[in-house]
Amino acid sequence: MSNVVLNVNGQTHRLDIDPATPLLYVLRNQLYLNGPKFGCGMQQCGACMVLIDGKAQYSCTMPVSLAEKKLITTLEGLASTQGKLHPVQQSFLDEQAAQCGYCLNGMVISAVGLLNTSVHLDDAAIKKGMQRVLCRCGSQARVMRAIKRAIPTNKK
């Protein structure tokens, strides 16, 4: 066990924990967050995505000790403090871009990460950027529409 300091969704948490614990377990079990999900634990499905310093990354294999001194944002932390949804969350809602919704965390976080890198995205670039995230329900066509809708230059 050791002391680990995490910055998650703008708050600092001090934890006494096995430093090898994957970040995902810490977020879910110690911080009671539900956004990041367990899907494989082996970087194959993207269900566990979180933003680390603005980039979408797997949390299922990252030891919590490596997440120190970084700004971690989960699905819960995307909306404004007044509760206004992030534009990507809003466009997923508008497009009803899910079925069971289990993959939604990975989809939204990856899309935010992608839009953080560039706003000039064609279909091929979106697909490439979303390649890491699996959906069993076949919601990907809706996810494509939602992401396109969230691109600022596409706003009507």
Partner 1 sequence: MTTNRRSFIKAAGSLTVMFSLEYTGLLASALTMNNLELPEVLRRNPSLSAWLQVLTNGSVRVFTGKVELGQGLCGAIAQVTAEELDLKADKVEVVIADTRRTPNEGFTGGSFSTENSVLSIRYAAAAARRELLDLAAAVLMAPAEELQMADGKVSFKSGGRSLSFFELLEGKKLKSEIRLPLQLKPKEQYRISGKSVHREDFKQMVVGAEMYIQDLRFPGMVHARTISPPSYDARLISLDEAGLNKVAPVLTVIKDGSFIAVICEDEYQTVKAQQHLSAQAKWSVSQKTTSAKSMPELLKSLTVITSKVKTASIVFPEEAKTIKAAYYKPYVMHGAIAPSCAVARYKDGLLEIWTHSQGAYPLRDTISSLVKIPTPQIHVTCIRGSGCYGHNGSDDAAAEAALIAVAFPGRHIRLQWSREQEHSWEPYGTAMYMELEAILAMDGRIAHFRNSVWSDAHYIRGNPGYLNLEGLRANPVVQKANPAGSGGYRNADLYYAVSNQTVTANFFNGPLRTSNLRSLGSYANLFAVESFMDELAAQAGIDPFDFRIMHLEDKRAIEVLERLKRTVITLPKEKNAAIGIAFSRYKNSAAYIAVAAQVKVHPSTFKITPVKLWAVVDVGEVISLDSVINQIEGGMIQATSWTLFEEVRFEQKTVNSRNWASYPIIRFNDIPEVEVEVISRPNEKLQGVGEIAMCVTPGAIANAINRACGKRIRNLPVGEQLKL
Which stretches of the chain bind partner 1, using CB under 8 A? 18, 20-22, 25, 29, 32-42, 44-45, 47, 74-76, 78-79, 85, 89, 92-93, 96, 98-105, 108, 126-128, 130-131, 133-142, 144
Alpha-carbon torsion (29, 31, 32, 33), positive or negative:
negative
CA distance 81 to 141: 31
Of 1-9, 68-76, 100-108, 109-117, which segment contacts ligand FES by CB under 6 A? 100-108
Neighbours of 78 (CB within 10 A): 18
Contact flag: residue 108 with ligand FES (CB under 6 A): no
CA distance 87 to 99: 20
Of positions 66, 71, 99, 145, contacts ligand FES by CB under 6 A: 99
Pick from 152, 54, 143: nearest CA to 93: 143
Minimum distance of ligand FES from residue 120's CB (angstroms): 27
Pick from 156, 127, 129: nearest CA to 141: 127
In the list partner 1, ligand FES, none, the entry touching 48 (Cβ below 5 to 8 angstroms by class) is ligand FES
Residues that bind ligand FES (CB under 6 A): 38-41, 43-48, 58, 60, 98-103, 135-137, 139
